Amino acid sequence: MPQASEVFQEIENRIKQKPEKVAGLSATYQFDLTGESWTLRIHDGAASASPGPAEAPNTTFVASTDDWMSIATGKLNPVTAFMQQKLKVKGDMGLAMRLQGLLQ
Amino acid sequence: MSVISRAEAPPPATARQLVRRGELLDAGRRIFERDGYHGATVSAIVALAGLSQGAFYLYFGDKKAIFSALQEEMATLLRRRIYWATRDEPDPGRRLRAGLRSFFEFYEEYRDYNRRLSIEGLGIDESFEARQRELHETLAAAFGPTFQQLGIATPALAAFGLIGMASQLAYWQHFHLPAKERRTPDRLAQACAGLFLEGAQSHFAEGGSNAAGQ
């Protein structure tokens, strides 16, 4: 299974390749995983991912690293993970739904 | 045949809406697996989900809309699996086998859904066929670099041939073979890759090795 850093790098790359996917989106996402946090900032059609928590995230995802990686790699359906409380979402749910499209 | 679907409902805006929609999708998949698309009803889906008919129409316009959402969700899962399973494999034979293994694992995990989709999916409506074609075109494009490395001159033809072979093998394996004769996804991927790369004379041996990634 890839590392969490590879998944965030991948999201960044996909947005670079297809900035139209984030047209009009301005958001800071925080991911609280097992023993690590990541921040993904999307603004003006560009994205940057970095390790560590965000100062004022719009949406925070909380999951174990294993479950998050399973979601990112298609082993676990994100909605099922949410229903089973393997994935928790704090903050703006609409922005959380937008991120779903970026993982495809 | 064309079925007009009601207007698409807005995406969930709250955690509660996301859960409700997820419960309906989960119930929908089970009902479609059990009764098929034509036999499934909104009443059966909401009964299984423990929700009201009114709740259903907050999230989906009709039966076609929930099936479409399910088809999209499952296609996303499959694409992600194959992408991440193959992304970092430099050897084209091993990459091919890793992609096939992901496909067979996915088929095994959602065997009844895949069976319904393969039997009924293309006959339901043009839009279902279009979504399935889009998935296959995405997979075919993703296999392109692998086929180039393997020296295959007709990558699109090869890709659709491979997808057809893998789909039929998975269906035969899960619905026509006795359980004790079924291969694991990895063994099936090995056999399928061998057939594809070496032809019908490939000597795939149970427990042995072949050129497709050993």
**CATH code of the domain in which A59 resides:** 3.30.1050.10
As a whole number, mean pLDDT of residues B149-154 equals 91
Is there a contact between B112 and B33 (Cβ–Cβ < 8 Å)? Answer: yes
**Residue-range definition of the domain harbouring residue A23:** 4-103
pLDDT digits (tens, 9 = 90+) for B184-214: 999 999 999 999 998 877 766 665 444 444 4
pLDDT at site B3: 46
Specify the range with the lowest mean pLDDT, choosing from A94-98, B40-44, B158-162.
Answer: A94-98
A97 at interface of B, judged by CB pairs closer than 8 A: yes
pLDDT digits (tens, 9 = 90+) for A12-54: 998 888 888 888 899 999 999 999 999 999 998 889 999 999 9
pLDDT at site B208: 47
- Tell if the pTM clears 0.95, that is, is over it: no
A9 at interface of B, judged by CB pairs closer than 8 A: no
CA A5 vs CA A1, A49, A57, B4: distances in Å = 12, 9, 19, 44
Residues of chain A with C-beta less than 8 angstroms from the C-beta of B26: 80, 83
pLDDT digits (tens, 9 = 90+) for A56-78: 999 999 999 999 999 999 999 99
A75 at interface of B, judged by CB pairs closer than 8 A: yes
As a whole number, mean pLDDT of residues B138-148 equals 90
B141 at interface of A, judged by CB pairs closer than 8 A: no
pLDDT at site A69: 95
Domain total of chain A:
1
CA distance B43 to B53: 7
**Residue-range definition of the domain harbouring residue B105:** 64-203
pLDDT digits (tens, 9 = 90+) for B115-142: 988 788 777 888 888 988 999 999 999 8
Determine the residue of chain A that is closest to B88 in CA distance: A2
Amino acid at B60: F
**CATH code of the domain in which B145 resides:** 1.10.357.10
Question: pLDDT-based confidence at B1, cuts 50/70/90?
Answer: very low
Is the pLDDT assigned to residue A104 strictly greater than 70?
Answer: no
Domain total of chain B:
1
Among partner residues A1, A93, A104, which is closest to B18 by beta-carbon distance?
A93
Going by their DSSP bridges, the two strands A87-91 and A27-33 should be labelled as: unpaired
Is the pLDDT assigned to residue B32 strictly greater than 90?
Answer: yes
pLDDT digits (tens, 9 = 90+) for B41-98: 999 999 999 999 999 999 999 999 999 999 999 999 999 999 999 999 999 999 999 9
Look-up of token digits 């073979």: B177
A13 at interface of B, judged by CB pairs closer than 8 A: no
pLDDT at site B213: 43
- The per-residue DSSP string of B123-182 comes to HH-HHHHHHHHHHHHHHHHHHHHHHHHTT-S-HHHHHHHHHHHHHHHHHHHHHTS-GGGP
Determine the residue of chain B that is closest to A85 in CA distance: B19
CB contact (8 A) between residue B15 and residue A89: yes
B78 at interface of A, judged by CB pairs closer than 8 A: yes
Determine the residue of chain A that is closest to B105 in CA distance: A75
CA distance B214 to B208: 9
Is the pLDDT assigned to residue B31 strictly greater than 70?
Answer: yes
CB contact (8 A) between residue A72 and residue B18: no
CB contact (8 A) between residue B81 and residue A72: no
Mutate to test the interface with B, among A11, A13, A104 (most CBs of B within 10 A): A104
Quote the minimal CA–CA distance from B21 to chain A in Å.
9
Is there a contact between A73 and A2 (Cβ–Cβ < 8 Å)? Answer: yes
